[in-house]
């Protein structure tokens, strides 16, 4: 640990901390330890037996002046606002929800063929999770949405991938050909 001890006319400070009076017995004991070349007990507690490099600056000709706080640039993380895609959660909110959407599924699955799970974020904010064979087509996803939510049967909508957003216009492609295995698909109203 690197520590800077600054000696002032009216006391001392550690790093850019508060002024500590020479007349305080605890502070006097601290300085005596430093004069003897020992690590003060206070610093031993801070470093838990590690190494301490104690540098000293002599400012005894000056009165202590509280240092100005250094400018610290924003150190948080950025958040994108107004994103076109909602936050994607790859797991269902409950096992029952996933099971319910699979049990009610009007999609016939051939268990002898490779399968995939597709999560569909609907325009109304709800979601569906469904197993499909990799040979199912994008139009099968559209039909699954309409069968699961008949209110969308008369609604004009498109299916879009998440980032990077790409509209799935060729609905004759298989899920494997469209490269949307185990992904999230967004329904957007036209």
Q: In what order do the strands lie in the sheet with 115-121?
A: 127-133, 115-121, 184-189, 157-161
- Report the helix count and the strand count for the chain, using DSSP H and E: 4, 7
- Of the residues 58, 88, 103, the one at which a domain ends: 58
- pTM score of the predicted model: 0.46
Residues 54 and 119 in one domain: no
Phi–psi pair at 187, nearest 5 degrees: -95, 125
Q: Quickly list DSSP for 156-177.
A: -EEEEESSS--B---TTSBTTT
- Rounded distance, CA 135 to CA 144, Å? 15
- What does the pLDDT look like over 124-140, one tens digit per residue? 888 999 999 999 999 99
Q: What is the CATH number of the domain that holds 37?
A: 3.30.420.210
Which tens digit of pLDDT belongs to each residue from 133-171?
A: 999 999 999 999 988 888 888 889 999 998 778 889 899
Give residue-wise pLDDT tens across range 106-121.
788 888 999 999 999 9
State the residue range of the domain holding 51. Answer: 2-58
Quote the pLDDT of residue 82: 56
Classify residue 30: in a domain, yes or no: yes
């Amino acid at each position: 640990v690197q520590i800077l001890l600054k000696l002032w006319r009216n006391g001392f400070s550690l790093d850019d901390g508060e002024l500590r009076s020479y007349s305080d017995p605890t502070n006097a004991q601290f300085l005596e330890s430093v004069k003897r070349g020992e690590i003060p007990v206070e610093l031993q507690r801070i470093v838990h037996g590690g190494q301490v490099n104690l540098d000293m600056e002599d400012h005894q000709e000056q009165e202590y002046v509280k240092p100005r706080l250094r400018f610290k640039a924003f150190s948080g993380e950025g958040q994108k606002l107004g994103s076109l895609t909602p936050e994607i959660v790859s797991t269902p909110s409950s096992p029952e929800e996933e099971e319910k959407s699979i049990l009610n599924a009007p999609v016939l699955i051939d268990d002898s063929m490779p399968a995939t799970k597709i999560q569909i974020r609907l325009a109304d904010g709800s979601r569906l999770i469904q197993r499909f064979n990799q040979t199912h087509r994008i139009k099968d996803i559209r039909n699954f949405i309409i069968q699961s939510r008949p209110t969308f049967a008369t609604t004009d909508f498109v299916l879009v991938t998440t980032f990077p957003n790409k509209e799935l216009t060729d609905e004759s492609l298989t899920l494997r050909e469209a490269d949307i295995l185990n992904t999230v698909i967004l329904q957007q109203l036209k």
